[in-house]
C-alpha cells in the first residue's frame, strides 16, 4: 500500500516512518511533486488535518493522510493550540515559540499542558481521523538536544526528562504522534485482513 504523508516537516516524516510497517510505503510531498505550502486556515487542529488531507486528494489524487499537532497549555486557556507552529510569528521559529511560551508562563504555578495530534486519513473516498494526546507539563527552562518544536520544554506525565532528552523510540511509545499513528496503523491493518 502506498500513502502520501502530507507534510513538509522532515522531523515528523522521520518520526512517522519509524512507526509504520514496511508494507505501507510512505511518500513525501516532494515524492509527488508537491512543493507548495498546503493551506492550514482552520480554527481547530482537527480542521487543519482534514484540510491538508483533502488538499492532496483533490489536487494530486493520492490516498493520503495529514496531521496537525498543537500544544495546549492549561494556564493559557489552551494556547498556543492550533497556532503552535506560528505562536511567536509567521517565521515558525521553535526557539522564538518556546521563549514566548516560557515568558507567558512566568509567574503561573499551573504548568499542565498536553500535546494533541490529529491524523486525517483520506482513503478510498472516505475520510477518517485519529487523535493522540500526551499529557504533561511545561518546564521552566529548556533541556535536551533531541526532538524538535517544543520538545525541550515539555515533560510527559511520569517522566523526569523532556521530550528533547529521551530517545525517539521512547518518545514514539508515549507521545501524541505515536499514539495517533498507532491508531492509524491498526485501522490500515484491519482493512487488509
Catalytic residues: 68
Task: Residue 126: count other Cβ atoms within 10 Å of its Cβ.
Answer: 8
Alpha helical stretches, state H, the chain: 10-17, 45-60, 94-104, 168-174, 176-191
- 174 grid coordinates: 508515549
Report yes or no: 39 and 49 within 8 Å, Cβ to Cβ: no
Phi, psi of 27 (to 5 degrees): -105, 140
Q: Cα 107 to the chain's mean position, in Å? A: 28
- What cell numbers appear for 57 in the block? 486528494
- The answer to whether 167 and 146 are in contact (CB under 8 A) is yes
Cell of 4: 502520501
Amino acid at each position: 500500500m502506498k500513502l502520501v504523508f502530507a507534510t513538509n516537516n522532515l522531523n515528523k516524516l522521520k518520526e512517522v516512518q519509524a512507526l509504520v510497517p514496511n508494507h505501507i510505503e510512505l511518500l513525501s510531498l516532494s515524492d509527488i511533486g508537491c512543493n507548495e505550502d498546503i493551506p492550514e486556515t482552520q480554527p481547530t487542529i482537527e480542521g487543519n488535518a482534514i484540510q491538508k488531507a483533502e488538499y492532496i486528494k483533490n489536487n494530486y489524487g493520492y490516498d493520503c493522510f495529514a496531521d496537525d499537532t498543537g500544544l495546549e497549555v492549561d494556564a493559557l486557556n489552551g494556547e498556543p493550540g492550533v497556532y503552535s507552529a506560528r505562536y511567536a510569528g509567521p517565521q515558525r521559529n521553535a526557539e522564538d515559540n518556546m521563549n514566548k511560551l516560557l515568558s507567558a508562563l512566568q509567574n503561573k504555578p499551573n504548568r499542565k499542558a498536553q500535546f494533541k495530534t490529529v491524523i486525517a486519513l483520506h482513503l478510498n473516498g472516505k475520510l477518517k481521523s485519529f487523535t493522540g494526546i500526551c499529557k504533561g507539563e511545561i518546564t521552566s527552562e529548556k533541556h535536551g538536544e533531541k526532538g524538535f518544536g517544543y520538545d525541550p520544554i515539555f515533560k510527559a506525565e511520569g517522566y523526569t526528562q523532556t521530550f528533547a532528552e529521551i530517545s525517539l523510540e521512547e518518545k514514539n511509545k508515549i507521545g501524541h504522534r505515536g499514539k495517533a499513528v498507532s491508531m492509524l496503523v491498526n485501522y490500515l491493518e484491519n482493512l487488509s485482513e
